[in-house]
Amino acid sequence: MYGVEHGVSRVVRHKEFYIRGGDMTVLVENHLYRIHSYFFERESLFFRNKFATASESGEDRLGASEEAPYSLEDVKSEDFARFLWVFYNPKYGQYDAPLDWWLSILHLATRWQFDGVKELTIAALEQIEIEGVEKIAIYHNYNINKHLLVPSYMAVCRREKPLSLMEGSKLGMETVLRIAEARERLRQQAMESGVRSPTYEDFGDDETEKLVRELFQVTGRSPTVPSTSNINPNYGGSGGAAPSSPEYGSVSSDKGGRGNGSRSVSMDVRTPSPSPGPAPLQTNMKNTSSGPQSFTGSGMMMSKEPSEGPSLFGPSSNGGGPNSIFQVGPNGRSRQSTGEHAPVN
């Protein structure tokens, strides 16, 4: 398979993620990836079902060889490499992960039901300064809990400039109408209180938040986001090359360095585990800097207990349900539904 023609492009091994110790070959566009199926079978309901179906029908394991790779359709190789970066952390390196990276990861995590990865991505997004309309559009698109959008709803409803046509097309008719109603009601309330020519600075935080929660139907307790002062989905890579080329932005940068919400993330890689596979997901929740964008990477194991608090995902998401791999408990810690490992500190 290696070196053959694929459409108009020649199939080549991916320079970072063709891993000798991998047991699953994946074809994405014209790139061959060799990775560990263990991550995909453990973390993804979608792939767990795929593996089970192949096993029950007596078929070869997915991506058993270069001659029979598992082909991912409608996926960009660049996005898949970014997604794999979550699992194969560089050793003690700092890597710039801008907003577009997290959106690539969020898209594939949602599509393939990697709920733990989605949760970590949400925690990262909560630390990036995203313009209000864009954040609302992203969170609505991926069914992320609306409690996290209350500040963005408030900012958009109180800004002087009305929504543009392009912004309206991003948000959709229902959201646009709710925002328009909120703006009108805020103005009316200000006038009734004696302000003749109210500006949006005249609208109090409490009144605005109450109205936003009513119109956008944000009820109940807000979910506790995992401490995003440290995002490190440390999966303990097994023999894999870390993304260290300029393509992956091997730099330490702060949030102000780019307009696309870049962040500096420090990660470590633990010694590969023996059978049955690489080490389970670990994530450290401890801040090591004065800024919200710097993270370190030793961590805690996630326990099997079910979630007792609201899910970060919306009501129709797989997050928080019986099939969720990772959930958010009331103390803000992520929890893993894998029963083979005891929690560690």
* Confidence class for position 226, pLDDT limits 50, 70, 90: low
Whether the Cβ atoms of residue 50 and residue 41 lie closer than 8 Å to each other? no
CA 117/CA 120 separation, integer angstroms: 5
CA 221/CA 292 separation, integer angstroms: 24
Q: Is the pLDDT of residue 236 over 90?
A: no
Domains and CATH numbers, the chain: 5-127+225-336 (3.30.710.10), 146-215 (no CATH)
**Lowest mean pLDDT: which of 74-78, 128-132, 287-291?**
287-291
**Quick one: pLDDT at residue 224?**
67
**Quick one: pLDDT at residue 30?**
95
pLDDT 10s digits, 244-298:
332 333 223 344 333 455 544 333 333 334 334 444 444 333 333 333 333 333 3
**Quick one: pLDDT at residue 187?**
84
Whether the Cβ atoms of residue 86 and residue 235 lie closer than 8 Å to each other? yes
**Quick one: pLDDT at residue 191?**
73
**Quick one: pLDDT at residue 194?**
66
Mean pLDDT taken over the chain = 71
**Lowest mean pLDDT: which of 5-14, 27-36, 190-199, 215-224?**
190-199
Q: Is the pLDDT of residue 80 over 80?
A: yes
CA 162/CA 183 separation, integer angstroms: 9
**Quick one: pLDDT at residue 129?**
95
What b/e sequence results for 66-75 when a residue is b if at least 16 CB atoms lie within 10 Å of its CB, and e otherwise? beebbebeeb
CA 16 to chain centre: 21
List helix spans (H) across the chain.
37-43, 45-56, 77-85, 99-111, 115-125, 132-141, 150-158, 165-171, 173-192, 205-215
What b/e sequence results for 123-156 when a residue is b if at least 16 CB atoms lie within 10 Å of its CB, and e otherwise? bbbbbbebebbebbbbbbebbbbbbbbbebbbbb
Mean pLDDT of 164-185: 96
Whether the Cβ atoms of residue 93 and residue 237 lie closer than 8 Å to each other? no
Amino acid symbol at 138? I
CA 199/CA 324 separation, integer angstroms: 45
